[in-house]
């Protein structure tokens, strides 16, 4: 589990965490409005119904290749009987389910993939479910906007002193008699001078080690590295002129 986020739904603080790069919502938080004991009962009563089990089983069959279908069929056969009892922990343990996660650590509680959590929202109330979806969508929209801002800042930093650097190279390091096919080598040599100082490797060495990664070495730099890169390009341009 990674760093948690929180949304507020009808005055309830609902924890959201990331597991295997997917959003999982805390069912325990969703059910807490009915009291701690009552909330646990809501989850157990919800998961033991045939409708819920069919939903969970179908979800697992779609997304989980290791799902134990035989155990699932056993649970489904007994669903609805007065003697049938099932907890989220038993469901995960017996079927190797991945859509529900029971955390006993710092953020104790039962978490479920967002698809399943939205379905559980119906057990609270249709109104609660609607507000849950609305707040979750607002959270994702805010995250996307922050990512877009970071991306724009990334591009700006990568370009901020690029022209100053290349203009200095063009003016001072490239003879007028040099052929066009060799001019690019001069630019690449100066770029790699900075790459080696900043990243410890050349652009080609990075590409060879990251063949399945999109972009180049600078596209994948951190914001801190790009700040340093920009300053180094500016200093190198001055040194080239000198």
Every domain of the chain and the residues it spans: 5-141, 160-241
pLDDT single digits (tens) 218-240: 888 888 888 888 888 889 999 99
Highest mean pLDDT among 57-61, 145-149, 211-215: 57-61
> What does the block give as tokens for 205?
């060495």
Percent of the chain at pLDDT > 70 equals: 94
Mean pLDDT of 198-207: 93
Q: Which residues contact 54 (CB under 8 A, 6 or more apart)?
A: 76
Percent of the chain with pLDDT over 90: 46
Q: What is the dihedral of CA 77, 83, 88, 89, to 10 degrees?
A: -100
pLDDT tens digits along 179-195: 887 888 888 899 999 99
User: Hey, how many other C-beta atoms are within 10 angstroms of the C-beta on 138?
Assistant: 11
pLDDT digits (tens, 9 = 90+) for 60-77: 999 999 999 999 999 999
pLDDT tier for residue 204 given thresholds of 50, 70 and 90: very high
- pLDDT of the residue at 75: 93
Rounded to 5°, the CA angle 114-107-94 comes to 65
For 142, residues 6+ apart whose C-beta sits below 8 A from its C-beta are: none
The string of pLDDT tens digits covering residues 42-54 is 899 999 999 999 9
| pLDDT band, very low/low/confident/very high, at 141 (cuts 50, 70, 90) | confident
Coil/strand/helix, residue 107: coil
**What is the model's pLDDT at position 106?**
64
Indicate if the pLDDT at residue 107 is higher than 80. Answer: no
**Total Cβ atoms within 10 A of residue 83:** 5
pLDDT at 7: 92
Q: DSSP strand E in the chain: where?
A: 5-9, 12-19, 22-26, 100-103, 109-113
| Other CB atoms within 10 Å distance of the CB of residue 9 | 22
Q: Is the pLDDT of residue 108 over 80?
A: no
Among 100, 97, 104, CA closest to 43: 100
Average pLDDT, rounded, for the chain = 87
């Amino acid at each position: 589990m990674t760093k948690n986020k929180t949304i507020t739904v009808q005055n309830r603080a609902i924890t959201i965490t990331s597991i295997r790069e997917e959003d999982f919502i805390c069912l325990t938080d969703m059910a807490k409005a009915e009291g701690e004991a009552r909330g646990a009962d809501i989850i157990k009563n919800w998961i033991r119904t045939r409708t819920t089990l069919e939903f969970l089983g179908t979800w697992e069959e779609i997304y989980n290749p290791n799902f134990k279908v035989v155990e699932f069929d056993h649970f489904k056969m007994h669903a609805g009987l007065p003697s049938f009892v099932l907890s989220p922990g038993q469901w995960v343990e017996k079927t190797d389910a991945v859509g529900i996660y029971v955390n006993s650590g710092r953020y104790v509680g039962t978490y479920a993939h967002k698809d399943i959590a939205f379905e559980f929202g119906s057990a609270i109330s249709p109104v609660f479910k609607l507000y849950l979806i609305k707040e979750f969508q607002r959270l994702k929209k805010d995250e996307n906007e922050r990512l877009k801002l970071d991306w724009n800042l990334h591009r700006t930093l990568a370009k901020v002193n690029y022209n100053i650097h290349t203009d200095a190279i063009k003016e001072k390091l490239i003879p007028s008699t040099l052929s066009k096919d060799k001019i690019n080598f001069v630019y690449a040599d100066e770029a790699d001078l900075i790459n080696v100082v900043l990243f410890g490797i050349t652009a080609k060495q990075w590409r060879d080690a990251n063949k399945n990664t999109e972009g180049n070495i600078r596209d994948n730099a951190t914001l801190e590295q790009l700040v340093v890169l920009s300053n180094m390009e500016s200093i190198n341009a001055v040194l080239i002129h000198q």
